[in-house]
Structure 1
Amino acid sequence: MTQYAVLLPGDESTWENATPEQRAEMYERHGEFARVLAERGHKVTGGAELTHSRTTQQVRKSAGGDVLVTDGPYAETVEQLTGFYTVETDDLDDLLQVCGILANAEGASIEVREVVDHSGDAGMS
């Protein structure tokens, strides 16, 4: 099976301003996503909701080699990475269709990327 990262970008203010009913609806959509994945033979192997991007710590190296740590997201954009799933599947086309459950009509899209498998690389464990 191939492993994919299902990345969930979104406008963080949508969650912050959501009513309890709207939040419950969002959680229901994620529950449906997990249920349909399982029904179709996909396997969720991990994932998490991420804290707000304002809690981000950026780590860089200066030209002199010093480690520089700054607060806040790297990119000043409305959409930030809000969470992710890792999913194992042999059917990418179907996985992409199931990810449509999490996409919304307001234009939010889901990014699906294959995870690099280094298990066969020499010196990697």
Structure 2
Amino acid sequence: MPKYVVMFPADDEADWEARTEADRQANFDSDFEFGQLLKKHGGAVTGGEALVKSDEARTIMRGPDSHPQLAEGPFRKGAEQLSGFFIVTCDDYDTLVDAARLLVRTHPVVEIRPVKEF
């Protein structure tokens, strides 16, 4: 069965921290409904995590001399960040897209990418 990663690249951490418990629960409910819809059509959420803001985040990148350089904090362009992801299986891509539409209720952007296993 094909695998995909469903990512949330535009969630705002400050917005999340400012939410009420009811607003946060609405987010969790939307995520759960997404998984239930996939399951109903033979797919599944097989993994995923919320990525938290951390003082321990580090980025390793190739420097000008082609040697690895360590930088403090996550790598981001502008205000973009990856706040979390699901790994899903689904035979029908259109079903996955329809299910992901539910996630836009509580995530401003949802990105779907196929996963190629090595």
When normalised by structure 1's length, the TM-score is 0.81
> 8 Å contact 1:12–1:79 — kept in the other structure?
no
CA radius of gyration, larger in: 1
Alpha carbons 1:53, 1:80 under 8 Å: kept: no
* Structure 2: runs of 5+ lacking an equivalent: none
The sequence identity of aligned pairs, in percent, is 31
Report Cα offsets for 1:24-79 as digits up to 9, x if no partner: 11111111111111112112121111112765311013233443111123224333
- For normalisation by structure 2, the TM-score amounts to 0.85
1:46-61 equivalence runs, <5 A: 46-52=47-53, 55-61=56-62
Give matches, 1:4-83, under 5 Å: 4-9=4-9, 10-52=11-53, 55-83=56-84
Aligned length: 117
RMSD over equivalenced CA pairs, Å: 2.1
Q: Distance in 2 between matches of 1:109 and 1:27?
A: 16
Pick the structure with more strand per residue: 1
